[in-house]
Amino acid sequence: MPTGGTIAAIGTPQGHSTRAIIRISGPDARECIESITTLSDPTRGIHKCRVRIDDQHTLPCLVIWFDGPRSYTGEDVAELILVGNPVILQRTLDQIYQIPGLQRAQPGEFSARAYLNDRLTLAQAEGVALRIAAVGDEALSAATKLLDGSQGERCNQWTQELALLLALVESGVDFTDQDDVVPIAPDALTQRLTELSNQLIDEIGSAAGSMIHSTQPNAVICGMPNAGKSALFNALIGRERAVVSDRAGTTRDAISEPLNLETDIPGAGTIDLIDLAGLADHAIDAIDAHAQQLARERIQDADVLLWCDPSGRFADRDGFEMLGKPIIRVRTKSDLILNDTNASNAISVCALDGHHLGVLKRAVADAVSDRTQMGVGAFVPRHRRAINQAITGIQDALKWIPQGARSLDAPELVASGLRDALDSLGELTGQVTPDDVIGRVFATFCVGK
């Protein structure tokens, strides 16, 4: 992600509005304002002036000026408030981009600069993205916890506890030849690690760390054989991944692919889309019976069900409605004419021409959001992944702690697991922040944020 020079972008949603904002940040922000507006030598505050939208026309606008480092990004920042007409905004941007040194902002680059200039922590930057994409009070509350630092403080407490326990274990490695030196008793270590593990498990809303396999929610495509499930799966992910055939029982496994909903619904994130074997009254053979059993297991673990039925009847012979999960009824093969219109509550889609696929993605995004509002880890995949890895590291360490013993038999192996867990928690606190992690965080933003 570029972080040098001066950047500019529209900071408000696309479309017509009464007012809109163009945000500029960087060392040449002052020169930019003096070049395209009638304002000279801007000072901190709000100024009335006119802005040039082309070589012949100007319009009234407001300029809000922030001197660095006392600004959002830590740099000189200007915000132009003008008429929210997309044509006028684009023409103004065209004028800005003609100024030497000015460049288009990448998604999340303003907040990335705020992070790099110590104006935001990494968790607070993610809180900005969450607040933008918040759907419902719980999502907004999770974003607030990141922004006000309370979530970061909790992560720091976990990290400090784990670092202390690791230090005690590693100090024991240095005294393995001295039986009278025991930095921490195995039973005490087990108790403290178990308590810490339970806190982490509660954070990501799972009853057991071993049951946490995915870092993102999933939507399962289910229904009878030949219901158009695989064709819909291919259409949603945009490529031929699953075999499509008129022959029943073609799908013999659970096929999973990531589905990026961001391209259609900003802030929706990525989910795992899973295509399953059709559920029939009788299996074709032993392989089909196994495939159907696997399908039922995946349905039990699903966050959202995409129930496909080309007839539009949705007879619940498989008990989908009894599972208590969000269900999206999808009338597949909508190019076929129905004799009855009993599918009024279903989304009619056609995998051949893409009819209503956007509507279906919107419904999936809404259902996933409603389903997974159970803690900040559910909203930030990076947090869920890091906490999941920390739980795994702690559980690996616990395997090597003998119960009732006076000292650790294999302190090196215990320390190895704890070190892995500490590295994972370090991603949350910013103490361990690989470049690819930073890139993933800010790539979730829209341009202008």
- Looking at the structure, tell me whether residues 307 and 411 fall in a common domain: no
Domain annotation covers residue 295: yes
Domain annotation covers residue 142: no
Query: Closest by alpha carbon to 158, among 433, 429, 419?
Result: 429
pLDDT tens per residue across span 8-26: 999 887 778 889 999 999 9
Task: Look at residue 390 and tell me whether its pLDDT is greater than 80.
Answer: yes
- CA angle, 435 as apex, 369 and 142 as ends, to 5°? 25
Q: How confident is the model at residue 440 (pLDDT cuts 50, 70, 90)?
A: very low
Task: Look at residue 444 and tell me whether its pLDDT is greater than 50.
Answer: no
Domain annotation covers residue 227: yes
Q: How far apart are CA 157 and CA 155, in angstroms?
A: 5
| Three state DSSP letters for 60-105 | EEEEEEECCCCCCCCCCEEEEEEEECHHHHHHHHHHHHCCCCEEEC
pTM of the model: 0.46
Domain annotation covers residue 139: no
CATH number of the domain within which 72 lies: 3.30.1360.120
Q: How big is the chain, counted in residues?
A: 449
Domain annotation covers residue 74: yes
Q: What is the pLDDT of residue 396?
A: 92
Q: How far apart are CA 449 and CA 447, in angstroms?
A: 6
Domain annotation covers residue 1: no
Task: Look at residue 249 and tell me whether its pLDDT is greater than 60.
Answer: no
Q: How far apart are CA 102 and CA 80, in angstroms?
A: 15
> What is the rounded average pLDDT of the residues 316-338?
83
Long-range contacts: 56-65, Cβ < 8 Å, 24+? 59/83, 59/88, 61/37, 63/33, 63/37, 63/39, 65/33
- Looking at the structure, tell me whether residues 267 and 384 fall in a common domain: no
Average pLDDT for the chain: 79
Task: Look at residue 157 and tell me whether its pLDDT is greater than 60.
Answer: yes
> What is the rounded average pLDDT of the residues 109-129?
81
- Looking at the structure, tell me whether residues 94 and 114 fall in a common domain: yes
Which of 340, 371, 402 is the last residue before a domain boundary? 371
- Looking at the structure, tell me whether residues 351 and 392 fall in a common domain: no
Location of structure tokens 């202390």: 164
pLDDT tens per residue across span 33-86: 999 999 998 999 999 999 999 888 999 999 999 999 999 999 999 999 999 998
pLDDT tens per residue across span 89-100: 999 999 999 998
Q: What is the pLDDT of residue 138?
A: 53
- Looking at the structure, tell me whether residues 351 and 255 fall in a common domain: yes
Q: What is the pLDDT of residue 81?
A: 96
- Looking at the structure, tell me whether residues 29 and 50 fall in a common domain: yes
For 400, the domain range is 150-211+376-443
- Looking at the structure, tell me whether residues 270 and 405 fall in a common domain: no
Which of 118, 135, 159 is the last residue before a domain boundary? 118
- Looking at the structure, tell me whether residues 433 and 289 fall in a common domain: no
Q: What is the pLDDT of residue 445?
A: 53
CATH number of the domain within which 327 lies: 3.40.50.300
Instruction: Pick 173 or 270 by higher pLDDT.
Output: 270
pLDDT > 70 in the chain, percent: 75
Number of domains in the chain: 3
